[in-house]
Amino acid sequence: MKAKKLLERVKQFLDADRHTQLDKIRSIRKVLKELKEKERMLREQLEHEKDSETKESLQLRLDVIYAQRKKGVDRVQELKEGLKSKEQSTAETDISVTDAGPDGQPDSQQESQPETQVKD
């Protein structure tokens, strides 16, 4: 197998977790949209309702939906931050590998070492 194909397989393997997180984000967003629509409908019903018991029931349902939406939004933010931190660590690893000199040390370390001069 050629090196290019092997590198592509390694990349797919390493990105599998990223794809899983993106799928979770998409599914949570879909549920959040449905909850938002349900919340709108309940708010409209609450405005037009005159019975106090029914109003309390609708308000309770609205409170539950609000809590669910808040929890979903928080989870999406956590997943996004996890993706960002992984991307940053991957980028830092890529930079350190590409900036390495022939001895494996980053170029910046090679330049910072003083050269010794021998005087005759």
| For the ranges 12-26, 53-67, 74-88, the one whose mean pLDDT is highest | 53-67
At residue 47, the pLDDT reads: 94
Domain ranges of the chain: 3-92
Q: Rounded to two decimals, what is the model's pTM?
A: 0.61
12, 17, 77, 68 alpha-carbon torsion, rounded to 10°: 130
Q: At what angle do helices 52-98 and 3-48 cross, to 10 degrees?
A: 160
Q: Chain-wide mean pLDDT for the chain? A: 80
The sign of the CA dihedral 33, 34, 39, 45 is positive
Q: Backbone phi, then psi, for 99, in 5-degree steps? A: -85, 0
| For the ranges 2-11, 43-52, 83-92, the one whose mean pLDDT is highest | 43-52
